[in-house]
Amino acid sequence: MDNLIIDFALDTDRANAVLDIPHKYHQVVAEKMAELNVDMIWLGDDVGAQESMLISPDMGRTFLKPRVGEIIESVKAIKPDILIAYHCGGYNIPIIQELIEIVVDVLNPIQPESMDPEQLKKDFSMELSFFGGIDVQTTLPFGKPEHVRAEMAW
């Protein structure tokens, strides 16, 4: 990961060549799944850290958004009603609107340690569904059942 992020800045040809390998694979798999009439495709890039992005939104626009967008466009051409879930843990507010632009339907996880679920609901719930919303670092692994229930009440 460190080398790839360095390549984003210093060797874009290499970064693109590296990213094209899994992109081509995931494109074929997603298209085959759409042809099989699945209800949802699950994609993702963990570019969010606890309080910030691991890469800049500009780097995401350059290297990730076009690839993810291409996969989504191709599967929706096969099956227009297919849903797209996108996994991007941590803080990812700077790219949420762009995920909506490329027709992501569901964002996962919503980590309250990194983003305010209530604010996300206010800002984006008309365009995006959210999957998650419980503290997966403290409450879920270490909390008692009543703590988990209380956190899920929002």
Q: What is the pLDDT of residues 25-48, one digit of tens each?
A: 999 999 999 999 999 999 998 899
Q: What is the pLDDT of residues 111-147, one digit of tens each?
A: 888 999 889 999 999 999 999 888 888 888 999 999 8
Query: What is the rounded average pLDDT for all residues in the chain?
Result: 93
> Does residue 154 register a pLDDT over 60?
no
Helices (H), the chain: 2-10, 12-35, 57-59, 65-78, 93-101, 117-124, 139-142, 145-151
Q: What is the pLDDT of residues 69-108, one digit of tens each?
A: 999 999 999 999 999 999 998 999 999 999 999 999 999 9
β-bridge partners, 85:
42, 106
Ordered by start, the domain boundaries in the chain are 2-151
pLDDT band at 153 (very low <50, low <70, confident <90, very high): low
Q: Which CATH class is domain 2-151?
A: alpha beta
